[in-house]
Amino acid sequence: MKKRKLTTASGASLFHYEDSQSIGERGPLLLQDFFLHEKLAHFNRERIPERIVHAKGSGAYGTFTVTNDISKYTKAKLFNKVGKQTRLFARFSTVGGEKGSADTERDPRGFAIKFYTEDGNWDLVGNNTPVFFIKDPKKFPDFIHTQKRDPYSNCKSATMMWDYWSFNPESLHQVLILMSNRGTPDGYRFMNGYGSHTFSLVNDNNERVYVKFHYKTMQGIKNLSDSEAIYLKGIDPDYAQRDLVEAIDKGDYPKYALKIQVMTIEEADSFRWNPFDVTKVWPHASFPLIDVGVIELNENPNNYFAHVEQSAFAPSNLVDGIGFSPDKMLQGRILAYPDAHRYRIGVNYDALPVNKCPYMVNNYHRDGSMRFDDNGGDSPNYFPNSFDNIKLESTREEGMNYELKSKEVGYFDRNDNDDDHYTQPGNLFRLMCKKEQKDTITNIVNAMSGISGFKKNEIINRQLCHWFRVDRELGMEIANGLNIKIEGNK
């Protein structure tokens, strides 16, 4: 192997890498040892701000292969031919913990995918659950604060979490999933993923349908019990990261079947629940899963920071044929996600290799921190102009047009005429086998036993009322586990 010389950041040769320049063998150091300053200054800046949520993550490159023609629903080019392959990058994560937290914490898991399509990058930014805790983005900062650290003790607080959830029964569906063994998946290879939100698809005839995306593990579902998750938290906090890297290294590539549910605009108008409410699911019996293709993760990044830590996903990254919906939480994420990336890794984050569209990017964005390409060279930095040949596409705008049902602007109570927070979690609990029900009840009791302080009984009773509305047996068993006497509870 040809030897390479060691240099400064500017390319100058180095002759002393480990010994600082000093006055005499035992004397003080000199300010003129510029490489000492360069080395320490760069070291001080090695860490970028961690993500506020989804801070601890794992990632891999792979491919998406179309197995079923869905062109009747969408003109998106990545779906236009059976057998077509598209390169992708996927990132998994826990949600509430910091970057150094354990992989087996009881927490939802992020499951985001960036498809590098010929029409631009499409980001499907989801979780391993089909629903979420809240239905309005204004609630998100408060909710996440309860998942972080108490401002007084700087410790995680069960009291904060359950106090917030008890005031927001819309969280019940997601909390029930979280408290089941699905809240502690056995790594990232053995769990499902979901786009969670409602999106839309537009075909060549500019006909629109609503859609939900599912990615089903082809390795089978495997979850950890609460005791197993706690044990692994102590002996191997990087359990899921290690499992993913080692599986791919040995050629045991994880695969996930991408599927969709489709709802027509007419069906959306008559659906029992708000179809754009992310705390609800679309029943599979009414809206069956349709096969689309297979996601395979087959390449570990050669540098974690460059690829996983600097990866940036945003639901605003769409391609022609895929669109938004009136989902309120989705609408909030369209703004919040790109803003988070600009804060964390800079305004030119989309030009980083892991985030850059590998095909063609033409725009008039210029300058900004860390602009490491030619910044558009000598081409015009305004539009329209007489000098370049960059033109607007017309078909996308036509395809994305849609009508709103109301012209009224106001602050609408998200739960007014839409307050059935109990039917779907109740149905989910009754679908569980007896062992799953028992484990879920035990996990809820263990979690609620951490509630403390002079408001303890008030918070517990408020949450218990919600559990009883979900399912009477569930409520009774949780009350028994918490040693709370309920009238009629023998």
Catalytic residue positions, numbered? 54, 127
Decide: 297 and 253 in contact? Cβ < 8 Å.
yes
> What are the structure tokens assigned to 397, written together?
């705008």
Q: Burial, 25: exposed, middle or buried (Cβ in 10 Å; 0-12, 13-18, 19+)? A: exposed
* Alpha carbon distance 443, 437 (integer Å): 10
* Alpha carbon distance 244, 187 (integer Å): 8
- Identity of residue 126: G
- Identity of residue 209: V
* Alpha carbon distance 357, 86 (integer Å): 12
Identify which of 90, 93, 91, 89 has the alpha carbon closest to the alpha carbon of residue 56.
Answer: 93
DSSP state, residue 48: P
With a CB cutoff of 8 Å and minimum separation 6, the contacts of 182 are 128, 129, 191, 223
With a CB cutoff of 8 Å and minimum separation 6, the contacts of 130 are 194, 196, 212, 214, 281
* Alpha carbon distance 280, 435 (integer Å): 24
- Cross-strand partners of 295: 64, 256
DSSP for 288-345, please give it. --EEEEEEEEEE--S-HIIIIIT----TT---TTEE--S-HHHHHHHHHHHHHHHHHH
> What are the structure tokens assigned to 408, written together?
């009224």
> What are the structure tokens assigned to 41, written together?
């200054």
Instruction: Give the distance between the most distant pair of CA atoms in the chain.
Output: 87
- SS3 label, residue 447: helix
* Alpha carbon distance 32, 100 (integer Å): 37
CB atoms closer than 10 angstroms to residue 69: 13
- Identity of residue 265: I
Element (H, E) at 88: strand 85-94
- SS3 label, residue 85: strand
